[in-house]
Amino acid sequence: MPSAQTNAVNTINKTRQTMELNDKAPADAGDAIRDSARNILRVTPLGGLGDIGKNMMVVEYDEDMVLIDAGSMFPVEETPGIRLMIPDLAYVLDNRERLRAVLLTHGHEDHIGALPFLLEFGIEVPIYGSDLTIGIVESKLTDRDYQLFESVRQLRTVDTETVLQLGAFEAEFFQVNHSFPSSLGISLNTPLGRVIHTGDFKFDENPILGRPIDVNRLETWGREGVLLLMADSTNAEEDLATSSEIAIEDKLQELFEEAAGRIFFSTFASNTARVQQVLNLAERNGRQVGLVGSSMYRYTENAVKLRYVDLDWNNLLSDQDIDKGAPDKICVLITGSQGEELSALNRLSFDNHRFHQVRSDDTVIISATPIPGNEKNYYNMVNRLFRRGANVIYADLADIHVSGHGSLRENARMLDLLSPRFFLPVHGEYRHLELNRRAAVEHGMPEQDVLILEDGGCLEFGHWNRDFEPGDGDALLSRCLVREGEPVSAERIVVDGSVVSDDHGILNERLLLRDGGMLVCVVNYSARAWEMRGAPVLVSRGALYREEQRDFHDLARQAVAKRFAAMAGNPGTKASDIERDLVRVLRRICRDELGRNPFVVVKLAADNDVSDPI
């Protein structure tokens, strides 16, 4: 079976062909300006502005381009059966000769999950990130799902002392605090001025792992002048400063002391600080630790190897020990804090994990809040765990989770430190971006300098119609203008098993099947005489209640027979025309008589045609 990445070629190429056709259309004035303009800085988000996840930002200066992050996104309720979603890569692939590097802020999936798909297309530029981020990426590229062993040579480790010359960009990196230690913000010095992307960040003066944000460095850049700040908006609905990771320590200690049986502790495997916190609590309370879930092993192994996490692998509990040891001496770090379909904790909630079962004396601590759009999966899993008899502790009940994202107050502090000429909120659904924009204006930034953008949109910065001299200091920033650039394709690309596609029609069909069931109608007819042979055959699945079936079938058969007779007498009518028309007839009856909208299939079977109607 072809890989998901290989199947992506057709999808991306289709998008690229559409873009090429558009390019052949007569150019308008805006096209002429873009083609001829020089000394122009462009920022174009392909993901992460309008959604939580699949973060990818394109930054261009004339003929040079860099990517900041290449993430994936959890499936949401309107994408049933989908494994994950990634950004539309067509624009990057069409401009690959200008791409100088991929810069990674940190190793969470919403920032690195699309990398394998990008590399499958032969993108051969360096990929830069912190040591832990690069370790996670290497592990990802070489696992059985991707096996991109050759691409590992493109990985490069950077730290806060690194300076890279990437065409017109001089890239530097600064420490930020987040639930992933060694997270980095990115500074791109350009001929027009400095551009800063915070990545996911908060201010934590007492982080469990790593160092606080280098405030002095940010202040220095602020004094020198910052053209554009792009800052995390995920937590823009909160005004008070985000708590430190250490703030939940006392509550977790209390829960460890109260637990009579085993503790199953679920958090993001990539939340290395939380993992270390649990390891410390387990040791303090005389509990041995087991790891359950492949990503928990993978992330923890990398963190141990790079000395971010202190763990003796020889003391880990085996799967047998987890079930046979003294319950009050066991703590299990387990994946699945979002109720992901195939995750370990979700399997436990369904009682179909191959090794473990939930017991009535178990305590399950879920140290995470549901990602927006994923609330249903999360709470359904919590309900199932309660039904299994577990004592379930989650963030609605106790202070056992703190966000890794800064609030509006922390964004205001970042604005004060950097004093940017322009501000662009990033990372969040539209309401998060808008709330961050409004807060910046209320904090004193001129409204015209606080920008809003969604995936596929483009902003251009430059000095058109004005004299431009690179390196002109404060005057350079004050004279810089911004305008809307040409948008690019930024469709959600879905990964479904081994297929990668932008075909949203199949998702609509799945939603119809899920919400309204299915109705199939088979009409046997004589192709020569164009006459029906017998009554139409109706089969429904999930569309009709038993007490509705007889009356509905009678009404539907009459309507189908009447419409078939009316259309069959028209010269030049094709079977496919009749099928489409009968679908509309049956949908209308379903809406009028049932108030429902099932997925409807009609098949005309000519003479001895007995092919599968579905």
Q: Token digits for 68?
A: 């900041």
Retrieve residue 23's tokens: 């390019």
Q: What are the residues whose beta carbons fall under 8 Å from the beta carbon of 341, sequence distance 6 or more?
A: 377
Could you tell me the mean pLDDT of each successive run of 10 residues in the chain, 614 residues long? 45 45 36 55 97 95 97 69 79 95 96 92 94 94 82 95 98 96 96 97 91 95 97 94 90 96 95 94 96 93 93 89 92 94 92 91 95 87 96 94 94 97 97 97 96 96 71 70 92 63 50 70 85 88 83 90 84 84 90 85 76 40
3-state helix, strand, coil in the chain (%, to 5): 40, 20, 40
Burial 419-430 (b: 16+ CB within 10 A, else e): ebbbbbbbbbbe
Q: What pTM does this model have?
A: 0.77
Amino acid making up residue 519: L
CB 360 within 8 A of CB 366: no
Specify which residues 64 forms β-bridges with. Answer: 61
Closest C-alpha to 334, from 366, 310, 359, 311: 366
- What would the DSSP string read from start to end of 394-446? ETTTSS----SS--HHHHHHHHHHH-EEEEEEESB-HHHHHHHHHHHHHTT--
pLDDT at 476: 73
Q: What residue type is assigned to position 305 of the chain?
A: K
Q: How far apart are CA 5 and CA 146, in angstroms?
A: 8
Q: What is the CATH number of domain 248-393?
A: 3.40.50.10710
Q: What are phi and psi of 334, to 5 degrees?
A: -135, 140
Per domain, the residue ranges of the chain are: 37-240+404-501, 248-393, 517-607
Q: Determine the Cα–Cα distance for residues 175 and 178; give it in Å rounded to an integer.
A: 10
pLDDT for position 567: 84
CATH of domain 517-607: 3.10.20.580
Residues 158 and 132: their CA atoms lie apart, in Å, by 10
Per-residue model confidence (pLDDT) at position 9: 45
Tell me the pLDDT tens digit for each residue of 568-594: 767 777 888 899 889 999 989 988 888
Taking CA atoms, 592 is separated from 239, 552, 587, 598, in Å, by: 48, 11, 9, 12
- Who contacts 78 (Cβ-Cβ below 8 Å, separation ≥6)? 507, 511
Q: Which residue in 106, 178, 405, 427 is the catalytic one?
A: 405
Q: How far apart are CA 501 and CA 521, in angstroms?
A: 29
Is position 353 annotated as part of the catalytic site?
A: no
Spot the catalytic one: 110, 204, 232, 362. Answer: 232
Distance CA(502)–CA(86), nearest Å, equals 10
- Asked if 196 and 221 count as a contact pair (C-beta separation under 8 A), the reply is yes
Query: CATH for 37-240+404-501, among 3.40.640.10, 3.40.50.300, 3.40.630.10, 3.60.15.10?
Result: 3.60.15.10
405 is catalytic: yes
DSSP string, 456-494: T--EEEE-TTS---TT-HHHHHHH-EEEE------PPEE
Largest CA distance in the chain: 87
Beta bridge partners of 250: none
